[in-house]
Amino acid sequence: MRIPIAHQGYPFIGLGLMATALFVLLGYTPGWVIFGMLTVFVVAFFRDPERQPAGGDKTLLAPADGKIILIEEKEMSPFSSARTIKISIFMSVFNCHVNRVPQKGRVEKIVYRPGSFYSADQSRASSENEQNALLLKTDDEQEISIIQVAGLIARRIVCWVKPGQKVARGERFGLIRFGSRVDLYLPPAVRLRVQRGDKVKGGLTIIGTYD
């Protein structure tokens, strides 16, 4: 039976449990209370529940849990000169940080870029922070870009897919450790079903639909 925790969290959880047990053995209450609480937080952060993707083939899912902090039209997408709709989702340390594929298709490109670590809710985070960009081409030739952006505390972007790989709606493709942001770039023909300030869940919330 699958444990609903991303395996990247196992080392942190193990360290937390060992530290908690050590302070219990030493009889030092403040120590085991603090490390016990930290371990609970780490378990919650790396949680990875099973989710059944919502909607049908013409719906686009949220790639991450969090709050929509930006929706705007852009003249260019990250991988082409085509117009696009940019949606930014901010993930706090309390959100599930596993990222999911918004629509089935094929991973065309993956481009990693080192950078700064400004707070992920700042606008300059999209252009200056460390990030990992995926170009996804859907089965009906729509192009979608998903950008994993590191934040002030997040210093590790994890991507589990590779160029050429076929992916399904709601499939896990990566995570970002300890607070971050995901920028989603959609074709301008997409009819959005969310607005700024909405809270969304990766693989469950329908971002928009298209013909």
Please list the active-site residues: 180
For residue 9, with 0-12 CB atoms within 10 Å meaning exposed, 13-18 middle and 19 or more buried, which class applies? buried
Q: What is the C-alpha end-to-end distance of the chain, expressed in Å?
A: 39
Contact criterion met (CB below 8 Å) for 70 and 87: yes
- Assigned token pair, 181: 């942001």
For residues 66 and 163, the answer to whether their CB atoms sit within 8 Å is no
What is the side-by-side strand order in the sheet with 172-176?
A: 98-100, 172-176, 157-159
Query: Which is nearest to 102 in space by CA: 159, 145, 45, 157?
Result: 145
Distance CA 190, CA 27 (A): 59
Element (H, E) at 36: helix 29-45
